[in-house]
């Protein structure tokens, strides 16, 4: 796993865990990470990560038409 260093303003009122979740949820939303990978980045179980996504404005459900069609075909 790659490690990065961010320089953030001291007055930014975010815990490290919130920042990790923001980054992980955005990468999940953009399809760059699976839910399992994103959960690992956030330091959470997959279940907890999925349960918290709504707090960060991210849906568990894909908005891609091809994903929806695939889900319907496999239902």
* DSSP letters spanning 25-66: HHHHHTTSS-HHHHHHHHTS-HHHHHHHGGGGT--SS---HH
pLDDT digits (tens, 9 = 90+) for 12-64: 988 888 999 999 999 999 989 989 999 999 999 999 999 999 999 998 876 66
pTM: 0.76
Q: In the prediction, which pLDDT does 10 show?
A: 87
Q: In this structure, is residue 24 part of a structural domain?
A: yes
Q: Does some domain include residue 60?
A: yes
Question: Does some domain include residue 6?
Answer: no
Q: Are the beta carbons of 33 and 47 closer than 8 angstroms?
A: no
User: Residue 46 is part of which domain span?
Assistant: 16-73
Upper half-sphere CA count for residue 54 (Cβ side, 13 Å): 3
Is 11 within a domain?
A: no
- At residue 69, the pLDDT reads 72
Domains in the chain: how many in total?
1
Contact of 46 with 28, CB cutoff 8 Å: no
């Amino acid at each position: 796993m790659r490690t990065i260093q961010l320089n953030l303003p001291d007055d930014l009122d975010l815990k490290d865990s919130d920042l990790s979740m923001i980054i992980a949820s955005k990468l999940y939303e953009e399809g760059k990470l699976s839910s399992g990978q994103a959960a690992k980045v956030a330091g959470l179980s997959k279940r907890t990560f999925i349960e918290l996504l709504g707090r960060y404005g991210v849906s568990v459900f894909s908005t891609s038409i091809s994903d929806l069609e695939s889900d319907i075909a496999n239902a």
